[in-house]
Amino acid sequence: MVIALGVTGGIGAYKAVEVARGLQKRGHDVVAIMTHSARRFVGEVTFEAITRRPVITDQFARGANADIEHIALATDASLLLVAPATANVIGKFANGIADDFLTSLYLATRAPVLMAPAMNTNMLEHAAVQRNLQTLASRGVRFVDPGEGFLACGWIGKGRLAEPDAIVAAAERILHPSGSLLGRRIVISAGPTFEDLDPVRFIGNRSSGRMGYAIAAESARRGAHVVLVSGPTKLDAPAGALVERVRSAAEMAQAMGTHAAGADAVVMAAAVADYTPAHALDSKMPKGDGPLQITLVRTQDILAELGRRRGDAPLPLLVGFAAETGDPRARARQKLQAKHVDLIVANDVSRSDAGFDVETNAAILISADGEVDTPLQLKSELASTIIDRIEQMLSTRAAAAKQS
């Protein structure tokens, strides 16, 4: 398969040589494209020797235009991989700026796109870069997260290019997807919602998003097409998931409504606010002398609405969570019925080792068939248990659909 390897001007550019070699060892044909500044870090001859192909450095090079090269490569490439990806190229991709070969190729290709960002920690955390990364993620661009360590600029922090092996492995996963959920579309919500009172204050909750993110990561690892609708969290996007970030319950309802259509399973792991201020003020609310009364109105119950919409159709499989203080069984069973869902993951959030904002969780999986207790385990392990159950329920449904 032809892989277009974009190399941009970061100190990690030398590691792209190892990436090219790794891809070639796995039988891929690599076409290296170097931006103007990449050539200040590594010589194009190095890539030429490894890929045994001319390196593309100029959109208008003589001899390269008879078969308009970026269009030809855009069609031939099975993957566009950019490693290292600087803040600059991320910004250009996000905003559709096409002022050289690589950025034009991004617009012209329909191949999947994988980027390995590398830059100084402050640059990576800058709102402009974060926003561009989110824009690209919402368009389906995949990322290999930068690692932490000593940066060339002398800092210690996040921003170092991921290791070549990890980049090659991520590329392989895109080129040869495999796993028990291959071909399945799973939509997951995670995190809290924030309901604004005024421009500086909001009502939120303690959900960290870890449980939903772990389910998204595990589903993607098993080959599913994953959409993660996330409330405000500090977590990095799980590899391979398409992330849509939202803030309020209303925004989450809208996003889930859109993505649930055509999904095989929907997992509502988000801690959605049940109430929102009747009126959010446009300017900051001044304090008064007496007590303050705020009128809250009910938000839409997203899960119940999805249950209502699905009716008796077999899909999407609907999974909800029930966070209760004390033994969750009775209320969870009520929720299973009232919201018309297939599986409730119930837990007791009054425990200090389970529920909100901790790494571990213990849960009871409740469905029409009965209850299964899971032991206290890492959220990533519980995610696996939940997905095993979802897979089982999906295959039962597929078998039933065949018989009918």
Catalytic residues: 153
Strand partners, 324: 348
In the chain, what's the furthest Cα-to-Cα distance? Answer: 79
Q: Quote the least distance from Cβ 274 to ligand CTP, whole Å.
A: 5
Q: Residue with structure tokens 């990806």?
A: 85
Residue 214 or 322: which CB sits closer to ligand CTP?
322
Q: Quote the least distance from Cβ 150 to ligand CTP, whole Å.
A: 41
Residue 237 or 323: which CB sits closer to ligand CTP?
323
Q: Quote the least distance from Cβ 360 to ligand CTP, whole Å.
A: 19
Q: Pick from 332, 3, 15, 328: which is nearest to 149 by CA?
A: 15
Strand partners, 197: none
| Cβ atoms of residues 116 and 85 within 8 Å | yes
Q: How far is Cα 216 from Cα 325, in angstroms, rounded to an integer?
A: 26
Instruction: Give, to the nearest 10 degrees, the angle between helix 87-95 and helix 127-138.
Output: 50
Q: Quote the least distance from Cβ 326 to ligand CTP, whole Å.
A: 11
Q: Pick from 54, 22, 18, 14: which is nearest to 38 by CA?
A: 14
Q: H/E element holding 346?
A: strand 343-348
Task: Point out which residues bind ligand CTP (CB under 6 A).
Answer: 249, 268, 270, 272, 274, 299, 301-303, 320-323, 335
Q: Quote the least distance from Cβ 193 to ligand CTP, whole Å.
A: 8
Q: How far is Cα 41 from Cα 241, in angstroms, rounded to an integer?
A: 32
Residue 171 or 366: which CB sits closer to ligand CTP?
366
Q: How far is Cα 21 from Cα 51, in angstroms, rounded to an integer?
A: 8
Residue 146 or 355: which CB sits closer to ligand CTP?
355
- Give residue 348's identity as a one-letter amino acid code: D
Assigned token pair, 290: 């007496």
Residue 30 or 336: which CB sits closer to ligand CTP?
336
Q: How far is Cα 359 from Cα 355, in angstroms, rounded to an integer?
A: 9
Q: Pick from 40, 23, 356: which is nearest to 32 by CA?
A: 23
Assigned token pair, 276: 């929102």
Q: How far is Cα 319 from Cα 223, in angstroms, rounded to an integer?
A: 19
Residue 94 or 322: which CB sits closer to ligand CTP?
322
User: What is the secondary structure of 249-298 as a DSSP string?
Assistant: HHHHHHHHHHHHTT-SEEEE-SB--SEEESS--SSPPPP-SS-----EEE
Q: Quote the least distance from Cβ 268 to ligand CTP, whole Å.
A: 4
Residue 197 or 322: which CB sits closer to ligand CTP?
322
- CB contact set of 255 (below 8 Å; sequence gap of 6+): 229, 244, 246
Q: Quote the least distance from Cβ 71 to ligand CTP, whole Å.
A: 45
